[in-house]
């Protein structure tokens, strides 16, 4: 095969793997959103640490690390497909955290927001016929089911415990045993 023909074939193949601009934009927005989620969890950890719930703070910091891993997973997908990774502005919304219930309620609300963002990406991947990105998105859809379930269960336990100090300390110790991200 002539080198010129090879280069043309290689360029055409690479263009076939290129992500549609609309999908690239929503994936890049999700990279930013995952990094923002990491900052949200870090901020929640600081609030819990201030309230002397060190175990819950440890859980939140592990969650923050997991969110950074999610951002990297999407970024690597973009790069592997010949796209650019462009981070948007990162900012953490103001939060009022007076109790562990407040912290985990904010966590659940944030996970629900991320779930909706992932569903938008799924719709765009379907609309553009990008099966390779859809595989990635399916993993994230499953992950969000797990995330919402986990945080929802913790929130339910907190509501059952109420103001019982012994129960709160037990749950704090239990959540503090989480060692890091990638528990999937």
Question: Which residue, chain included where needed, has tokens 């549609």?
Answer: 20
47 is annotated as contributing to ligand binding: no
Angle at 163 between CA 165 and CA 51, to 5 degrees: 70
Helix (H) or strand (E) holding 126: helix 100-128
143 is annotated as contributing to ligand binding: no
Q: Would you mind telling me the total number of residues written for the chain in this entry?
A: 184
**Do the Cβ atoms of 38 and 65 come closer than 8 Å?**
yes
CA–CA distance, 170 with 175 (Å, rounded to integer): 9
111 is annotated as contributing to ligand binding: yes
Instruction: List binding-site positions for Fe cation.
Output: 34, 67, 70, 111, 144
Instruction: List binding-site positions.
Output: 34, 67, 70, 111, 144
């Amino acid at each position: 095969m002539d080198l010129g023909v090879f280069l043309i074939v290689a360029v055409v193949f690479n263009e076939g793997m290129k992500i549609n601009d609309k999908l690239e934009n929503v994936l890049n927005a999700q990279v930013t959103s995952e990094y923002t989620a990491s900052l949200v969890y870090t901020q929640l950890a600081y609030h819990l640490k201030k309230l002397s719930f060190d175990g819950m703070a440890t859980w939140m910091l592990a969650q923050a690390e997991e969110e950074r891993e999610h951002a990297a997973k999407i970024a690597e997908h973009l790069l592997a497909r010949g796209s650019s990774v462009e981070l948007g502005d990162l900012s953490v919304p103001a939060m009022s955290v007076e109790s562990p219930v407040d912290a985990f309620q904010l966590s659940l609300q944030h996970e629900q927001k991320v779930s909706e963002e992932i569903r938008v990406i799924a719709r765009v991947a379907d609309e553009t016929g990008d099966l390779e990105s859809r595989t990635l998105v399916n993993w994230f859809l499953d992950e969000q089911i797990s995330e919402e379930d986990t945080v929802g269960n913790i929130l339910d336990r907190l509501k059952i415990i109420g103001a019982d100090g012994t129960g709160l300390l037990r749950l704090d110790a239990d959540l503090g045993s989480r060692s890091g991200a990638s528990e999937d």
